[in-house]
Chain A
Amino acid sequence: MRSASLLPLKQASVLPGFGITLGYTLLYLGFLVLLPLGALVAKASGIGLAGIVAVAVEPRVAAALWTSFSISLVAASVASLFGLLVAWVLTRYDFPARRIVDAIVDLPFALPTAVAGIALAALYAPNGWVGAFLEPLGLKVAYTPLGIFIALVFIGLPFAVRTVQPLIAEIERELEEASATLGASRLRTIWGVLLPPLLPGVLTGFALAFARAVGEYGSVIFIAGNLPYVSEIAPLLIVIKLSEYDYTGATVIATIMLAVSFAALLVINLIQAWSRRRFGHV
């Protein structure tokens, strides 16, 4: 029945207000999201598709885009993995100060990104609390791509935790117990019973963490080192282009980032839709 309801614009509902809410949604999205993004693309498209491609393949731009997207991908993956673990522990187990630990998860949200960046740089610099221990091992974190990774995992964590937490809370323990009594191994229970319903949440968290990481500037800039071709992220290159009064160049990089991010998020959404159909959950 549901799939048939695609054609008529509105479903019969006991509540009125379809028109006004749809109108409001379109107006809101239009003004707050599409208008600025449209202006951005309009400015960038001034140099034509060939010009945009020329900017994208410029070695330094390509290197910065690669740095931003590849590290964001890895960081979002790691954040998702450990976020899942954190969410599980916070939801399933009861321990002293659980509420406080739970609240701590949100701190990266609330902290101004520059503060996060400075704090991380101070910790991981060769004379910092953590950096001082890593330095003798030959491990440099601050002012290397590894530093970017740390910052991006930090800001991505709350997304990964908060999106799976409600799903974990929904899983009934009986399912695991049933799985166990039916003779499934522990691994099989995790893989076949627990993970499938969590997958959409994990993917959403991953998508959010990835999107945030790609656009992140404040926290990264203080720990990255910002060396061209090594640890220069695309958002910094945009700022540099602006410093050269090259507004078009800046908007072109932004547009490329937007396009790649949109494509990535679309793919993630498709996987999510597929996993919902596949596992028939949520």
Chain B
Amino acid sequence: MQSRSLNVAGEKKHSRLRSVVAAVGLVVMSSAGLVGLSGAASAQTQLLNVSYDPTRELYREINQAFAEEWKAQTGETVNVRASHAGSGAQARAVIDGIDADVVTLGIPSDIDAIVKATKKIPADWRSRLPNNSLPYTSTVVFLVRKGNPKGIKDWDDLVKPGIQVITPNPKTSAGGRWNFLAAWGYSHAKDGSADKAKEFVSALYKNVPVLDTGARGSTVTFAQRGLGDVLPAWENEAFLVLDEFGRDKFEIVVPPLSILAEPPVALVEGNVDAKGTRKVAEGYLKFLYSDKAQAIFAKHHYRPSKAEAAKPEDLAALPNLKLFTIESLQGNWDDIQKNNFDAGGLFDQISKR
């Protein structure tokens, strides 16, 4: 009785298996047909730019400008898609196999992580494009509530007792890492001591009531939830808050000294060769250094590498302050990432109770 019913089941399974195989075959064939069709219908090239969180508005405009430029130059239609999320998460997506043609991330160590994990980007990527592969830079400024009720002027004010600082978790956010490094660098510049700098960031993070996972999350906590007295933020993000939430609610405080934030770009060589998009992707990266793109960067409150290409009024809107590079203080990016943010690094040490 039992064996019979199992046999029946076996036969049924076979027939089911057959129908599954047939179904899978159909799907494969039809999707292959679709790919063939779309390939034949237009000579449109798809380019994927995997970027970090606050650049949505920026790359929407850049991508459109590039498509027009490329059409005018070569007659080819190119469609650039941009993907946005936290910088670290995006690096991980590329490592896990997303077919990015170019990466435009928030911090060099995220591109280094792709280099180490996949070899899809050559180790010397920084020297392959002008200005250390930085078409634009940025910095960290303070966003405070209108009228600056707590009188925040400089980094020292952020460690005062009773001040609440809203900043994202440096483990999960590139913006959070720039804030951390900026605070460390400020203290180091003032006292010239790594120990003092550690004490300084430790005191600062004691004033942090919420660690959001991304820079946008911190912005929302500060601007919409009304939490905290000061938000150290990407300069472009701070301007965006003024535009979005109103200049009557917030104002920007520019510290005399801050960090030169370096969001780099790179060609994902392993992917473009596989996809046959190398020429367009290289053209795209080159376009980022063109006068047209540089002007767009300045318009969105990033600091263009070629200042003369930007509109004077956009440049004038960017505050004047002294900027330091973190490499000048802490050496190469491998060490910066390892000593500060990897497991057991400085951030882990100061978050211990």
Contact = CB atoms under 8 A, between A and B. Distances in A.
- The answer to whether A and B belong to the same complex is yes
Interface string A201-229: 00000000000000000000110011111
Nearest to B92: A242
A126 B229 CA distance: 13
B6 A225 contact: no
B343 to A, nearest CB: 6
A249 B353 CA distance: 21
A23 interface: yes
Interface stretch (A14-22, A76-84, A150-158, A168-176): A14-22
Contacts of B212: 226
B227 interface: yes
A245 interface: yes
B241 interface: no
Interface stretch (B7-15, B121-129, B179-187): B7-15
Contacts of B324: none
B346 interface: no
Contacts of B113: 245
A244 B348 CA distance: 12
B175 to A, nearest CB: 13
B210 A19 contact: no
B225 A20 contact: no
Specify the main secondary structure of chain A where it touches its partner.
loop
Interface in B189-235: 208-213, 217, 224-227
Contact of A143 (B12, B209, B351): B209
Interface of B: 2, 5-6, 8-10, 12-13, 86, 88-89, 92, 95, 113, 117, 169, 171-172, 208-213, 217, 224-227, 341-343, 348, 351-353
Shortest Cβ-Cβ A-B pairs, 9 listed: A19-B9, A127-B226, A125-B225, A20-B9, A228-B351, A243-B88, A19-B6, A226-B211, A240-B171
15 contacts: A19-B5, A19-B9, A20-B13, A60-B351, A125-B227, A126-B225, A127-B226, A227-B210, A228-B211, A239-B213, A240-B172, A242-B92, A243-B172, A244-B341, A249-B343
Interface of A: 9-10, 16-20, 23, 59-60, 121-122, 125-128, 142-143, 221-222, 225-229, 236, 239-240, 242-246, 249
